[in-house]
């Protein structure tokens, strides 16, 4: 039934061009691989449920609503009750004790209720609420699908970040971007299927974009990291610091000659042939990637739209614009991380100043991204996913808030998410998700569903069992799908 793939089969015999179709019988993984290595096999094929031949009979699991995801990751955990989930009772009962129990496990001790320092207003035809932190995103609420009842399992950054990215907070598992790449392959044979722009190396680090036991082709390609300004962020080794392109071409020609002579002594071998192709692809990537990262060709208006005209929004704006360019170029999963030299949104204290600074840095760039994608018709099939690893407590820790994985808000936009819609709710004070609860696993299942992937059938056989992004959990939340 499921497209189980034996890692051994794919790993050990990377198919060469001429064997790609024949080898396809072992599963789509090798097709994606073949496609990365320059075969003509296109990426519209998702893993079918026919193990013998995923192409022939059942090429798609079901029609997809989205072709790609852009994940805007707000590292540190923005507060739901200060951004998108207004709580009048929290304002009323400011300073009073929480009238029900706090969770058994908390990260730090918190005291009494703390009202939000920001005013909330309703926007758009949908009348969704947004606080004054996000005046620009607020203009796009009619495109947003807010889920107020997200909940996770881990109150520490490390566990929660890994949970959001991999579905597991205590084991090393493939990242959601790797699962998506594995499921859908790439639309652009000159680029990786999964890129992550300026990710944080803390709290799981590369595990958050690693393919774990999935083949290495499905791992995320980091564009810089959080310690590097986005202006300087690029893929490692993408440029040769010494030789001209002309000389590199001469060199590659010589390398090709040598490799073919070597091949004569060994006899035909898929791995050796694949390695020959990989150099050709690398050479093409050298041209293609910098072209996408180079924002100088964008109009002034576009750059302004993303806030690149202002120092405070320029860094994140550049990342968002790069994300759009990757989306246009056919990359499947693009992550943009908002993380400064602290844990950006982690306001255990000084909530007011901290959240104000953070929101200001992303508000215009994100609004710009939404507007730009929409104008280009890309929002149709691009799913935007916004959120942090958890929310924050409505109760106070100094003049800030503690971590809270019990109930928080994430929003989706485009790609089949129901626009201008709110789903689920937290309690009167915004501590626990209580209505239409959506676990991280459910969210993962839903997003895969929008990409045309059944989270229960997107599996990989490893260490004796079939693994999937949602482990043994996850339900598709059909109510948030338009």
Question: Between 300 and 465, whose beta carbon lies closer to another protein?
Answer: 465
* Spatial separation of the C-alpha atoms in residues 364 and 307, rounded to whole Å: 6
In whole angstroms, how close is the CB of 57 to another protein at the nearest point? 10
Whether 56 contacts 25, CB under 8 Å: no
Q: In this complex, which beta carbon is closest to another protein, that of residue 138 or of residue 226?
A: 226
For residue 399, report the phi and psi dihedrals to the nearest 5 degrees. Answer: -105, 35
Q: Which tokens in the block code for residue 440?
A: 């991280």
**Residue with Cβ nearer another protein (123 or 432):** 432
As a whole number of angstroms, the distance between CA 139 and CA 124 comes to 7
Closest-CA residue to 421 (of 365, 361, 480): 480
3-state class (DSSP) for residue 14: coil
- Report the nearest approach of another protein to the CB of residue 94 (Å): 27
- Residue whose CB is less far from another protein, 91 or 153: 153
Report in angstroms how near the CB of residue 361 gets to another protein at its nearest: 16
For another protein, the closer of residues 108 and 122 by Cβ is 108
Closest contact distance (angstroms) between CB of 260 and another protein is 9
Which tokens in the block code for residue 235?
Answer: 């893929």
In the bound state with another protein, the residue whose beta carbon lies nearer, of 89 and 238, is 238
What is the smallest separation between the CB atom of 161 and another protein, expressed in angstroms?
Answer: 8
- As measured in angstroms, the least distance from the Cβ of 296 to another protein is 23
Question: To the nearest whole angstrom, how small is the minimum distance from the Cβ of residue 399 to another protein?
Answer: 21
Task: Report residue 154 as tokens.
Answer: 């881990």
Residue 186 CB partners (closer than 8 Å, separation 6+): 32, 35, 36, 43, 192, 193, 330, 331, 332
Instruction: Return the number of the residue (368 or 400) whose C-beta is nearest another protein.
Output: 400
Report the greatest alpha carbon distance in the chain: 81
Nearest partner of 388 among 347, 334, 448, judged by Cα: 347
What tokens were used for 129? 């609420």
Determine the Cα–Cα distance for residues 294 and 303; give it in Å rounded to an integer. 12
In angstroms, what is the minimal distance from the CB of 439 to another protein? 9
To the nearest whole angstrom, how small is the minimum distance from the Cβ of residue 437 to another protein?
A: 7
CB-based contacts of 162-166 (< 8 A; 24+ apart in sequence): 162/203, 162/204, 162/207, 162/208, 163/389, 163/440, 164/73, 164/387, 164/389, 164/440, 165/204, 165/207, 165/208, 165/209, 166/204, 166/207, 166/208, 166/212, 166/469
The Cα–Cα gap between 216 and 192 comes to: 11
Q: How far is the CB of 120 from another protein (least distance, A)?
A: 29
CB 337 within 8 A of CB 199: yes
Contact 382, 327 (CB under 8 A): yes
Closest to another protein by CB, 72 vs 217, is 217
Q: Which is nearer to another protein, 89 or 202 (CB)?
A: 202
Nearer to another protein, 119 or 262 (CB): 262
Nearest alpha carbon to residue 357 among 325, 318, 312, 321: 312
């Amino acid at each position: 039934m499921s497209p189980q793939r034996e890692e051994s089969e794919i790993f050990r015999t990377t198919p060469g061009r001429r064997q790609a179709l024949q080898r396809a019988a072992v599963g789509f993984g090798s097709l994606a691989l073949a496609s990365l290595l320059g075969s003509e096999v296109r990426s519209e094929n998702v893993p079918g449920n026919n193990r013998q031949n995923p192409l022939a009979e059942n090429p798609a699991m079901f029609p997809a609503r989205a072709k790609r995801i852009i994940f805007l990751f707000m590292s540190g955990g923005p507060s739901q009750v200060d951004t998108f989930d207004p709580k009048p009772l929290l304002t009323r009962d400011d300073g009073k004790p929480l009238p029900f129990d706090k969770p058994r496990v908390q990260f730090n001790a918190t005291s009494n209720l703390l009202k939000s320092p920001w005013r909330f207003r309703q926007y758009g035809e949908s009348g969704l609420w947004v606080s004054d932190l996000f005046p620009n995103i607020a203009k796009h609420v009619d495109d947003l699908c807010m889920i107020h009842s997200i909940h996770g399992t881990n109150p520490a950054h490390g566990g929660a970040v890994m949970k959001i990215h991999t579905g597991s907070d205590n084991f090393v598992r493939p990242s959601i971007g790797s699962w998506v790449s594995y499921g859908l392959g790439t639309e652009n044979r000159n680029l990786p299927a999964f890129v992550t722009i300026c990710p944080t190396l803390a709290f799981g680090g590369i595990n958050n974009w690693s393919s774990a036991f999935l083949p290495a082709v499905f791992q995320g390609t980091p564009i810089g990291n959080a310690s590097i300004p986005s202006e300087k962020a690029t893929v490692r080794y993408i440029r040769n610091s010494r030789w001209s392109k002309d000389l590199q071409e001469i060199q590659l020609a010589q390398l090709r000659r040598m490799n073919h002579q070597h091949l004569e002594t060994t006899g035909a071998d898929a791995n050796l042939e694949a390695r020959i192709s990989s150099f050709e692809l690398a050479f093409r990537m050298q041209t293609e990637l910098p072209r996408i990262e180079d924002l100088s060709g964008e109009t002034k208006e576009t750059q302004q739209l993303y806030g690149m005209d202002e120092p405070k929004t320029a860094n994140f704006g550049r990342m968002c614009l790069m994300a759009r360019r990757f989306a246009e170029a056919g990359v499947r999963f693009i992550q943009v991380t908002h993380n400064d030299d602290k844990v950006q949104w982690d306001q255990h204290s000084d909530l007011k100043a901290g959240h104000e600074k953070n929101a200001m840095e992303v508000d215009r760039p994100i609004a710009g991204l939404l507007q730009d994608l929409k104008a280009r018709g890309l929002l149709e099939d691009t799913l935007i996913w916004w959120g942090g690893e958890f929310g924050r407590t409505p109760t106070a820790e100094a003049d800030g808030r503690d971590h809270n994985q019990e109930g928080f808000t994430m929003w989706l936009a485009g790609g089949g998410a129901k626009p201008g819609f709110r789903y689920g709710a937290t309690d009167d004070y915004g501590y626990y998700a209580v209505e239409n609860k959506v676990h991280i696993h459910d969210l993962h299942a839903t997003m895969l569903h929008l990409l045309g992937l059944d989270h229960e059938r997107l599996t990989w056989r490893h260490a004796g069992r079939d693994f999937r992004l949602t482990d043994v959990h996850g339900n598709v939340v059909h109510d948030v799908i338009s």
